[in-house]
Every structure is written in structure tokens, then in C-alpha cells.
Homo-oligomer: A and B are copies of this chain.
Amino acid sequence: MARRGTTTTIADVARHAGVSPATVSRVMNDRFVGEPSVADRVRRSATELGYSPSPLARSLALGETHTVALLVPDIRNPAFQAILGGLTRAAARDGYRVLVADSAETPDDEPVLATELRRRCDSVVLCAPRMPEETLVELAATLGPVVLINRPSPSVSAPSLSIDYGAGITELAQHLYDQGHRTFVYLGGPERSVSNERRRRALDEFEATMPDVILHRISCGADTEDGRRVATLVRESGATAAIAFNDLVAIGLVDGLAAEGVRVPEHLSVTGFDDIPFARYTSPPLTTASVPYEELGMQAWQRLHALGRDEAPGDDVLLQPRVAIRGSTAAPGRRAGIGSGAAAETVGSS
């Protein structure tokens, strides 16, 4: 904030133009209906004094801030950054700004963080994968306009936008199965994460459906480092294919395996999840499920914008990942053909 008395206020303009603050306000907001000459005079005074209304004061008076909050567990996660990108761009088109906050992977802080953010903003995009359901229900009720990312729930009043992780992971497993794999290992994400739960359920079902499939499970994490850490465990598991919680884990795993002399996909196939921008450029390019996170961010804004104008926000949406077959998967025990480079890619729909 500028030093007190430095900024020109609406009163200054009013005085300069010889009118009342009310009139200045009306002119600035195109709500003025009187003599055009008066409006002109006000406008001239405004530009002459370099006046622009204080957004803060307007927010207080109007009860709206033209700001939307985004709360995520870790802002450095590329998936959240993609959401942020989509949200920022979409909101900007309607003259809204985005306030970001990061709970530093501490679900306990999220309710108070969210409420605090909410008071600065008109609405909030909440991404709280590890928040307990009951806390979420309570929070969503008090929060007002909010959209939930990846937390579809009939008991919550807010619209939610989610990724069909189950469908994506099933399709990945099926792809591996079709290539001849029978022994899998799943590298689980954060323990209490909803999206991890979705993936696990889908894999449980896959295992139950396919009698000849063996599925090992390793509790891992969501970061590159987590993937690297479990490389040895994966190697020793006897699996021919590893299904990683996400791309970061997969990338870390591939790297960790390389350090142990295990080649991907020659010795072991690996799949990721998310299709972060660089998944296609990794070594080898990563077979993964492509998730439209930027789209998610844009749709989130669309819902909130509707909600803010008391329109119907639209139904909950379950966005379908698209599996992208790249170089990190191959038939077990078979060497990958020479020339299977970054350019080759198949995209399947689900």
C-alpha cells in the first residue's frame, strides 16, 4: 500500500471536478445518467489526477473481491501447476485473479487455510486429497462457492471435477496384460489420498477379474524421490511391470532402476499417470494416462463463475484420462526393437 495520503481518492476527484463523491462513483462505474458534461468533467479530473479506484475499498463495499483462491497440497507438483495455469487463464478472461496457497502436504491445516482464503476471495478451488470426508463435508458447507478437485461425493454440496483414475489405471493394467505381463507391482501414492484409493480399488478389481494376474503392492509416495527409493524393492518383487502412482514416481523409479542396471522396458515395463508435459520426453518416453489438468482448471473456473452469478454450476464431471502408449512398456522379457524413439506414440481413448 502506498504511503498514507499519497494516493488520490475519490474525494480528491470529486473536489477537483466540483461534484460529490457519489457522482464520481457513478461515472466510474458507468451508472451515471445525468448531464454528459458533468460526466466529462469527472472523467477529465480522474485522468488528470491519475485516479483509479481502490480495489480494496470496492471489495469491502461491494462484498466481492474478483479473486478466486486455489488451495493445493503442494504447489510444486506439476499437476497442480497445470490446474493453476488453466484456472488463471480462464479467470483472467472474466477479470478475476487467482490467489494461491499450499498446505505443504499438511491436511490438518487445510480447513483453517481454506476459510482464511475464502474471506479474501469470492470462491475457492479446493484440492484436498487427504482431507477426511467428514471434515470436507463440514468445510464445504461453510465455505460458500467452492469446487472440489478429485473429491466427488454425494454428501458434499459443492460441485466436483474429478479424474476417473480407476478407468485410467485399469486401462493401463489391461495394456500391460495384453502385452503379456502377469505379475504386476503397484507403487501406491500417499496413504490417505482419495485418488490413490481410487487407483487401488480399480486394481483390486482388475486382479479379481483376471485369475492369472499377480499384483504386488508397495506403499510409495507421490514424488520422484519416492520412486527412486523403492527401485530395489520393485526389482526384487519379481514383477515384470510396475504401475506407478504418477509420472513423478515412475520417472524416479526408472532412474533408480537404471542405477541398479535394470533397463526399462527391456527388463521391466513401467507406467506413470498424469502425462505431465515432460512424460513424452523422458528416457524412455513414458507410457502413462493423460490427464487434462489444464482443462480441469478451466472448468473449475467456469463452475465458480456460474455459481457466483447464481446460475446452475452444471453437473459433476468425471474427466476420462487417455492412455498414451510410449516407450516405457513392452512385452516382458523381450528386448525393445531398435528405433523405438520418442516420436512413436499411440494414443488410446477410454
Point out which of A57, A81, A122 has the most chain B C-beta atoms below 10 A from its C-beta. A81
Question: What are 24 contact pairs spanning A and B, CB under 8 A?
Answer: A1-B65, A1-B144, A2-B144, A54-B60, A56-B120, A67-B120, A75-B84, A76-B81, A76-B82, A76-B85, A76-B294, A81-B81, A81-B84, A88-B100, A92-B101, A97-B99, A97-B101, A97-B120, A98-B100, A224-B277, A251-B281, A278-B282, A282-B283, A283-B284
**Which of A23-31, A111-119, A166-174, A200-208 contacts the other chain?**
A111-119
- Residue A341 interfacial (CB < 8 Å): yes
- Residue A285 interfacial (CB < 8 Å): yes
Alpha-carbon separation in the docked complex, A88 to B100 (Å) = 8
Return the chain B residue nearest A263 by Cβ: B341
Alpha-carbon separation in the docked complex, A341 to B56 (Å) = 55
- CB of A139 to closest CB in B, whole Å: 13
- CB of A260 to closest CB in B, whole Å: 9
Find chain B residues with CB under 8 A from A120 CB: 55-56, 67, 97
Find chain B residues with CB under 8 A from A251 CB: 278, 281
Find chain B residues with CB under 8 A from A281 CB: 251, 254-255, 278, 281-283
CB neighbors of B among A257-280 (8 A): 258-259, 276-278, 280
- Residue A164 interfacial (CB < 8 Å): no
- CB of A292 to closest CB in B, whole Å: 14
Q: A82-117 interface mask toward B, CB cutoff 8 Å, 1 = contact, 0 = none?
A: 101100110010000111111010000000000111
- Residue A343 interfacial (CB < 8 Å): yes
- Residue A157 interfacial (CB < 8 Å): no
- CB of A297 to closest CB in B, whole Å: 11
Q: How many copies does the complex hold?
A: 2
Find chain B residues with CB under 8 A from A309 CB: none
Alpha-carbon separation in the docked complex, A104 to B281 (Å) = 25
Alpha-carbon separation in the docked complex, A85 to B80 (Å) = 11
Find chain B residues with CB under 8 A from A316 CB: none
The answer to whether B85 and A1 have CB atoms under 8 Å apart is no
CB neighbors of B among A326-350 (8 A): 341-343
Alpha-carbon separation in the docked complex, A174 to B6 (Å) = 52
Q: A271-307 interface mask toward B, CB cutoff 8 Å, 1 = contact, 0 = none?
A: 0000011101111110000000010000000000000
Find chain B residues with CB under 8 A from A1 CB: 63-65, 122, 144
Alpha-carbon separation in the docked complex, A219 to B82 (Å) = 28
Alpha-carbon separation in the docked complex, A101 to B92 (Å) = 8
- CB of A310 to closest CB in B, whole Å: 11
Alpha-carbon separation in the docked complex, A56 to B104 (Å) = 25
Alpha-carbon separation in the docked complex, A45 to B334 (Å) = 72
The answer to whether A99 and B99 have CB atoms under 8 Å apart is yes
The answer to whether B98 and A99 have CB atoms under 8 Å apart is yes
Find chain B residues with CB under 8 A from A259 CB: 343
The answer to whether B63 and A60 have CB atoms under 8 Å apart is no
The answer to whether B4 and A258 have CB atoms under 8 Å apart is no
- CB of A280 to closest CB in B, whole Å: 8
- Residue A59 interfacial (CB < 8 Å): yes
- Residue A52 interfacial (CB < 8 Å): yes
Alpha-carbon separation in the docked complex, A341 to B171 (Å) = 30
Find chain B residues with CB under 8 A from A85 CB: 75-76, 102
